[in-house]
A = this chain, B = another copy of it.
Amino acid sequence: MFTTSILVRFGDLDAAGIAYYPNLVNFLHEALEDFFVGHVGRSYPEVFGGGLGSPTVKVEMEFLSPVRYGDQVRIGVVVEHIGRTSLRVRYEGEVEGRPVFRARNTMVIVDMKTFRPTPIPDWLRARFEAAREA
């Protein structure tokens, strides 16, 4: 499984001193960016910049345990499902072995001119397949 690690910053905290949950949703995107660099082999804006986009159409996220300042959140990224024009990715976050969140994100690949779904290019599909759950 591809994994990356993201540090919890002061700006991620809320007034209760724990990570504000919308900021943890942002961690999912950061983990996806690392997945593109580290696994796909091209950066996210490089892939989704010219003509293609990948808007999120659905996100589900469970928060299992508080995330605190200075935590290094280790995030596993797994491709769960690859459709013709869509992709579902699962994220598993943990801090020192303690699960802190799990999430699922469905993206649709779109042509940015029309904002309509378009088939995932073959080269990209192959990279997603290689990160697919066994």
Contacts and interface: CB of A to CB of B under 8 A. Distances in A.
Number of copies: 4
A56 to B, nearest CB: 5
Nearest to A58: B62
A101 to B, nearest CB: 10
A60 interface: yes
A41 interface: no
A48 B69 CA distance: 12
Interface stretch (A21-29, A88-96, A125-133): A21-29
Interface string A1-32: 00000000111011111101111011011100
B13 A59 contact: no
Q: Top 3 nearest A-B pairs by Cβ distance? A: A22-B26, A22-B25, A13-B15
A25 to B, nearest CB: 4
A63 B70 contact: no
B11 A30 contact: yes
Contacts of A29: 9-11, 20-22
